[in-house]
Amino acid sequence: MNTIVLDVGGTAIKSGICMDGTLTDLRETPTEASQGGAHVTARIRDIIAGYRSQTSFERIGISTAGQVNPVLGQIIYANENIPGYTGTDLKGILEEEFHVPVNVENDVNAAAIGESVFGAGKGRKNFVCLTYGTGVGGAVFCGGKLYSGSSYSAGEFGAIVTHPEDRQIGQDMFSGCYEKYASVTALVKNAMHCDASLCNGRKIFEELDNPDVKNIVDCWIAEIIYGLTTIIHMLNPECIILGGGIMEQPYILEQLRERLYPGIMQSFRQVQIEKAALGNRAGMLGASVLHDLT
């Protein structure tokens, strides 16, 4: 049974056809998010229509940025990275257009579902996924099931307050919060103060032999640890799965495994720190099995 799957991010929409956990006909389309939610929705419809002209499919699975009500298939909240996306009824719009069942889920939740079925979370019942990129996203699995919370918004780990001295709620709800310090955005911002050419994670890690750059990276890893320490003591997971392209850098996991454990209580130290196994396919693979969770 073919499922059209899309992973809607702020920069690109990844798409493909999934059958029994195998992705084919993979494509990537610019999101053009700054043009707003209606434009992004139109992009999604055009992508699906492109597949329909070439193949048949029985379902559509959507992994998307923003907080999602997966029951209604609607965007509860999206920040200004996609203006006007909040309130979008993706399920309703796409079912009316294509006349097949549509399932919609938050991108980090979808990636965690993908990891739970096909990747690093397979066979594990209690684990946490975190994705480090523009911000910090999270998802929680308890008893083998995704924990969504009372309003489908659980796992907003980027909002953990790690620097209360920097809180200015009236100006920025995320001021003083984890993602302001542990995201790749934060790493790049600090690195560019040192050298303006260090404008992405790859360039930063190419200069890791530079003591000043290494110090910036090590301080950033400390920020990651602050949040993980809180999460571990709150949730007592058996595993923490770390995603985002930056986690392909071996140095990060090496340092996390070396520096994290001394700062957590002995009874919590069984937690394993793993890199996400599915890379940028996780959201699409998770989207492909959303129908099994309904």
Mean pLDDT by 10 residues, the chain (294 residues): 93 94 96 95 97 94 95 93 95 97 96 96 96 92 94 94 96 95 97 96 97 98 98 97 94 98 97 95 96 80
Q: Residue 134: what pLDDT?
A: 84
Question: How distant is the alpha carbon of residue 32 from its chain centre?
Answer: 19
Please tell me whether residue 234 adopts helix, strand or coil conformation.
helix
Short-list 239, 285, 273, CA closest to 141 = 239
The 8-class DSSP code of residue 72 comes to T
Q: Residue 254: what pLDDT?
A: 97
The pTM assigned to this predicted structure is 0.90
CA distance 3 to 23: 10
Phi, psi of 6 (to 5 degrees): -135, 145
